[in-house]
Structure 1
């Protein structure tokens, strides 16, 4: 079952909980003149996600399909969406376009830098590169400037079938999840490098008010503070 929650104006969280992993897989649909989906999802989740999107818009009207980094739960269903929505374009970082996506996708991607602006109607987006934060050379985070929403992928990953949106601090559950991951077969889940703190501080300076989190509750509140504190959590967990 896909749970649908509006977590900000025109921003819908489409969540599928997988009990064996005790983890939510969250996807975000922006309903606007040119609808945008953040996270294409796993191939196996595509039918359920398509059904959920159809409750909000005609899936054929999707125009932009974006994600943080090239990983199955973010891009596995991409070509399915591109077949359903003939006017849709993949949207990712410029590095992602050049090193992975244009070979994988059935249509070329829009590769963005932080200087580029994507307008969907009421909303304006910039893609900020964040190499290896959370994963991969190609990683980036998408920031919507009107509502100050940061689509932050695996940052603040935490476990459980949790609330769609919270104002509670995410640092503790994130720290618990990182500790659990570091002790298991996924050790090395997120690297800590000399660039990590600087990148997270730059994102904090955007003063986001909503964090759209891929695994776990999204957050509303002083997200800049959480991003600043996250650097220390990653250092403690993975350095």
Structure 2
């Protein structure tokens, strides 16, 4: 469903009660890119990624097509960057009961100061009930880049909210695909190489693969459905440091 014809912002349900909000943009060189946010609708609704601050009107409008914006309870981020949490304080103002959700490191070094409301800092492996669903938090320091990185999985649908992993070029026109996303994401990554290539990167990816995700909720490009464990192991092989 297109929620803003001028921007092309749209919202699509990619799993039961889980919605991808997508806004395509044009980069200065004319290429297309996209920003995605993910909304889990439950007793305690959760938004993962806010999008940049200037996208708040579009993202909040899209949420309003699914549920009342003021009903948000959690606004999650993988790490502190504009596209992850640039709109955080605008969302906290619009949703009086909402709190930021992040890693303990993100809370300590950034969100305790940046956010207008105290964050809920998650412990590695912690399970948070949203009602019918629950999300599990995974600390992933320096994977793909920031020390404060963490990712999460919705336990029932096995939807893995994988942040900047598998970042794809283009406008993300296909909301959910079974086509290859590793090749285009690697072609996009290699000239920029935004991975930190930490010593534990491969082990973290294999740990996440062992969780057997069935859907990968990517922050840029299409979400993906299939054997997420196999795809994460393939990514580990592609980015792991050479011994």
Judge same fold: TM > 0.5, yes or no. Answer: yes
Alignment-derived partner of residue 102 in structure 1? 112
Matches within 5 A, 1:224-235: 224-235=229-240
* Residue 159 (1) aligns with residue 145 (2): no
User: Is 1:161–1:216's contact at 8 Å kept on the other side of the alignment?
Assistant: yes
Give the Å deviation of 1:114.
Answer: 2.5
- Partner residue of 1:16 out of 15, 23, 30: 23
C-alpha separation in 2, matches of 1:194 and 1:179:
18
Give the Å deviation of 1:117.
Answer: 1.6
C-alpha separation in 2, matches of 1:61 and 1:136:
30
SS in 1 for 2:240: helix
C-alpha separation in 1, matches of 2:199 and 2:43:
40
Alignment-derived partner of residue 185 in structure 2? 174
SS in 2 for 1:29: strand
User: Is 1:113–1:126's contact at 8 Å kept on the other side of the alignment?
Assistant: no
- Partner residue of 2:80 out of 64, 70, 87: 70
User: Is 2:178–2:224's contact at 8 Å kept on the other side of the alignment?
Assistant: yes
C-alpha separation in 2, matches of 1:191 and 1:106:
30
- Partner residue of 1:57 out of 64, 67, 74: 67
C-alpha separation in 2, matches of 1:5 and 1:134:
26
TM-score normalised per structure 2? 0.92
Deviations 1:52-81 (A, max 9, x none): 111111100100100100101101000000
User: Is 2:176–2:223's contact at 8 Å kept on the other side of the alignment?
Assistant: yes
Q: Could you tell me which runs of 5 or more consecutive residues in structure 1 were left unpaired when the two chains were aligned.
A: 183-188
SS in 2 for 1:14: strand
SS in 2 for 1:5: strand
Give the Å deviation of 1:198.
Answer: 0.3
Deviating above 6 A after TM superposition, structure 1's stretches of 4 or more consecutive aligned residues are: none
Alignment-derived partner of residue 10 in structure 2? 3
User: Is 1:131–1:140's contact at 8 Å kept on the other side of the alignment?
Assistant: yes
Number of aligned positions between the proteins: 232
Q: What is the alpha-carbon root mean square deviation over aligned residues?
A: 1.4
Which deviates the most, 111-120 or 82-91?
A: 111-120
C-alpha separation in 2, matches of 1:5 and 1:167:
16
Alignment-derived partner of residue 139 in structure 1? 149
C-alpha separation in 2, matches of 1:138 and 1:211:
21
- Partner residue of 1:195 out of 185, 195, 200: 200
